[in-house]
């Protein structure tokens, strides 16, 4: 038997800090998130005894899915720890098929969790799109034991049929590398990829029908229907994590078919994150979108006094809004004007070729930091208006904001993008010439930095959406203004996501640059890599520019104060007053049509 380089374990080639870092991240997230997930599960089980709503079919499925999530996280953590603590015991008693249990169990957990997301998605479709259908009524009247059977039995049968090979062992107690026939790796990867592909396609179709139904009935949405939509959003984020796992398995499937051992090793180092994300995201989706569970969790942990205090602070916020938008405009000015000015300086003057290359990454860092700072500012103003940090930022002097904006960005850029061994090849072509390691390092650093900033922004926007939904019945004019400014920043953040996707593609090609194939695949690989890089690079001007091009449009659309001032400058006072009078008369004529006003 051959060693399995996709063993979810260790090899001589990959026993480095960079290879083990995803596993360390998994351990950290496991220690933090698993207790929270367990508390949520206990809270739901406790509520099912007394509250009728929590005895519904959806929460019964959610309980099964939570059990499979927690079990999968514990199983993988136990597997990795046992490789270190009891490696000799596992190796000496291989006749009990410990290696087969560890390897097959990974794929069993994939099937259980994927089925859980699929069942919840189907249930959301039936409740939102087909609430009066016979199947929906039958599903809603299912007894809990029937749901248990439907959830677990098909998953067990499928896993037992497709992932039950026993001819798997360990090579040595020092490495604890799984050894098996290569055909097992190829078959497992192919089956799980095709299964996830079918499930994801079905879920995408169902979510498309759900969105269509919501758009059709948006003019008459009841409170119960809004709750069902929030639960659909809860499931959709878990489905997004499942899509990430599908992309990961897609590359694993390609490399397994090509029998590319080196690339499989490079890809498998990210397996702990791909494996864990499918479960780590679960408790966050529940706490953000499931108001009933999150409220009961707060009561269970903090008690009633703290909940009443938070409600009182939210009421005080609507009364004492203290000049919330002043610092925000200053950040907008820095992000949109000064960064573009630096780009112009680098173009106008004939500076060293290294500055041209490094300057692109410096500008990315400056603009990304600007969007991050504005997002954090929106979060503090909207969600935490009475915090000391918020008051401190609102009272900060302009020079302090300048320092906080520029100094960290400049230091980070100088440390991460300082390479000077860059030159032009010849005057006719003017192509930059440098070591491939410089390209790989710059692409990887910028991708990881954007990934962290985007994650922070996503969390901030999720908390803002949750707060806005809570306050939607009593919004003051000042709060509405702050929400419009949040929309302004959100569109710039969307452009940042496009840049992140682009850099992820470049990062993949940069990682593949160090890979060597067998002679049979070398020519195909060189063509694929060259074509991929060329096709990706041709879109760089658009991806680089859209991060700044979208700025003025977001300001003019969502920033009423700035757009009105621009109208006064361009059109003059008379024209603006005439437009406002026409708008007022039109709105009065439409007062009999609520949908039109909305």
- At residue 467 the predicted structure's pLDDT band, cuts being 50, 70 and 90, is confident
Tell me what the mean pLDDT of segment 106-135 comes to. 92
Does the reported pTM lie above 0.75?
no
Nearest to 189 by CA among 103, 71, 80: 103
- At residue 574 the predicted structure's pLDDT band, cuts being 50, 70 and 90, is low
- At residue 591 the predicted structure's pLDDT band, cuts being 50, 70 and 90, is very low
Q: Is the pLDDT of residue 338 over 50?
A: no
Sheet with 178-180: strands ordered across: 2-3, 178-180, 169-170
Lowest mean pLDDT, pick from 105-119, 202-216, 220-234: 220-234
User: What contacts 318, CB < 8 A, 6 or more positions away?
Assistant: 471, 474, 476, 479
423: phi then psi, degrees, rounded to nearest 5: -150, 175
In Å, how far from its chain's centre is CA 445?
18
- At residue 510 the predicted structure's pLDDT band, cuts being 50, 70 and 90, is low
CATH architecture of the domain formed by 2-286 = Up-down Bundle (1.20)
Within 10 A of 291 (CB to CB), how many other CB atoms are there? 16
How far apart are the C-alpha atoms of 185 and 187, rounded to whole Å?
Answer: 6
Q: Which residues pair with 3 in a beta bridge?
A: 179
- The answer to whether 178 and 98 are in contact (CB under 8 A) is no
Q: What percentage of the chain has pLDDT greater than the value 70?
A: 77
Domain range list for the chain: 2-286, 304-558
- How many Cα atoms occupy the beta-carbon half-sphere of 306 within 13 Å? 9
The reported pLDDT for the residue numbered 195 is 92
- The answer to whether 335 and 370 are in contact (CB under 8 A) is yes
Question: Is the pLDDT higher at 28 or at 334?
Answer: 28
Nearest to 283 by CA among 42, 111, 106: 42
- At residue 515 the predicted structure's pLDDT band, cuts being 50, 70 and 90, is very low
The reported pLDDT for the residue numbered 302 is 66
Nearest to 246 by CA among 200, 187, 206, 184: 200
Lowest mean pLDDT, pick from 183-197, 251-265, 358-372: 251-265
How far apart are the C-alpha atoms of 489 and 469, rounded to whole Å?
Answer: 19
The reported pLDDT for the residue numbered 325 is 37
Tokens of 198: 């079918």
Alpha carbon distances (Å) from 592 to 55, 215, 581, 585, 598: 43, 22, 19, 13, 12
Q: Is the pLDDT of residue 297 over 90?
A: no
Tell me what the mean pLDDT of segment 58-72 comes to. 93
Question: Is the pLDDT higher at 253 or at 58?
Answer: 58
* Region for residue 303 given its phi and psi (left: phi exceeds 0; alpha: psi -120 to 50; beta: otherwise): left
- The answer to whether 554 and 491 are in contact (CB under 8 A) is yes
- The answer to whether 206 and 27 are in contact (CB under 8 A) is no
Fold of 304-558: Rhopdopsin 7-helix transmembrane proteins (1.20.1070)
The reported pLDDT for the residue numbered 218 is 72
- The answer to whether 192 and 158 are in contact (CB under 8 A) is no
Q: Is the pLDDT of residue 225 over 80?
A: yes
- At residue 426 the predicted structure's pLDDT band, cuts being 50, 70 and 90, is low
Q: Is the pLDDT of residue 321 over 90?
A: no
């Amino acid at each position: 038997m051959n060693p399995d380089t996709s063993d979810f374990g260790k090899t001589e080639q990959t026993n480095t800090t960079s290879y083990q870092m995803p596993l360390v991240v998994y351990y950290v997230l496991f220690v933090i998130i698993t207790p929270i997930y367990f508390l949520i599960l206990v809270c739901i089980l406790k509520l099912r005894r007394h509250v009728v709503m929590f005895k519904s079919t959806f929460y019964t499925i959610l309980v099964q899915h939570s059990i499979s999530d927690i079990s999968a996280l514990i199983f993988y953590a136990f597997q990795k720890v046992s490789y270190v603590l009891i490696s000799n015991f596992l190796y000496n008693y291989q006749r009990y098929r410990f290696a087969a249990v560890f390897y097959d169990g990974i794929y069993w957990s994939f099937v259980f969790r994927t089925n859980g997301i699929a069942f919840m998605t189907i249930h959301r479709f039936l409740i939102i799109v087909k609430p009066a259908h016979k199947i929906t009524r039958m599903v809603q009247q299912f007894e809990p034991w029937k749901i248990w059977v439907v959830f677990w039995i098909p998953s067990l049968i499928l896993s037992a049929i497709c992932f039950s090979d026993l001819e798997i062992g360990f090579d040595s107690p020092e490495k604890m590398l799984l050894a098996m026939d290569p055909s097992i790796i190829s078959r497992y990867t192919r089956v799980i990829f095709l299964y996830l592909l079918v499930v994801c396609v079905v879920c995408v179709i169902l979510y498309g029908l759900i969105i269509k139904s919501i758009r059709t009935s948006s003019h008459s949405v009841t409170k119960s229907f809004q709750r069902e939509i929030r639960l659909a959003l809860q499931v959709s984020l878990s489905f997004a994590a499942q899509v990430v796992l599908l992309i990961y398995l897609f590359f694993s499937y390609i490399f397994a078919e090509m029998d590319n051992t080196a690339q499989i090793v490079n890809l498998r180092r990210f397996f702990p994150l791909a494996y864990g994300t499918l479960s780590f995201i679960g408790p966050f989706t529940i706490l953000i979108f499931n108001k009933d569970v999150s409220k009961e969790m707060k009561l269970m942990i903090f008690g009633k006094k703290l909940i009443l205090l938070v409600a009182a602070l939210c009421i005080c916020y609507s009364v004492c809004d203290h000049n919330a938008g002043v610092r925000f405009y200053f950040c907008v000015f820095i992000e949109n004007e000064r960064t573009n000015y630096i780009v112009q300086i680098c173009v106008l003057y004939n500076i060293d070729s290294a500055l041209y290359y490094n300057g692109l990454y410096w500008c990315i860092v400056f603009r990304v930091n600007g969007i991050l700072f504005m997002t954090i500012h929106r979060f503090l103003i909207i969600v935490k208006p009475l915090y000391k940090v918020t008051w401190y930022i609102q009272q900060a002097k302009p020079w302090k904001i300048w320092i906080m904006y520029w100094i960290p960005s400049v230091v980070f850029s100088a440390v991460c993008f300082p390479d000077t061994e860059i030159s032009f090849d010849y005057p006719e072509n003017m192509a930059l010439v440098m070591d491939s390691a410089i390209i790989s390092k710059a692409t990887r650093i910028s991708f990881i930095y954007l990934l962290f900033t985007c994650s922070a922004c996503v969390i901030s926007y999720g908390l803002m959406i949750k707060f806005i939904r809570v306050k939607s019945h009593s919004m003051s004019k000042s709060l509405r203004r702050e929400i419009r400014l949040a929309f302004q920043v959100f569109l710039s953040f969307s452009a940042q996501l496009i840049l992140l996707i682009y850099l992820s593609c470049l990062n993949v090609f940069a990682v593949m640059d160090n890979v060597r194939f067998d002679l049979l695949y070398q020519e195909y690989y060189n063509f694929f890599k060259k074509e991929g890089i060329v096709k990706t690079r041709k879109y760089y001007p658009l991806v680089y520019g859209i991060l700044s091009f979208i700025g003025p449009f977001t300001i003019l659309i969502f920033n009423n104060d700035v757009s009105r001032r621009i109208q006064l400058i361009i059109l003059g006072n008379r024209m603006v007053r005439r437009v406002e009078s026409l708008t007022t008369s039109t709105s009065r004529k439409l007062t009999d049509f609520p949908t039109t006003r909305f």
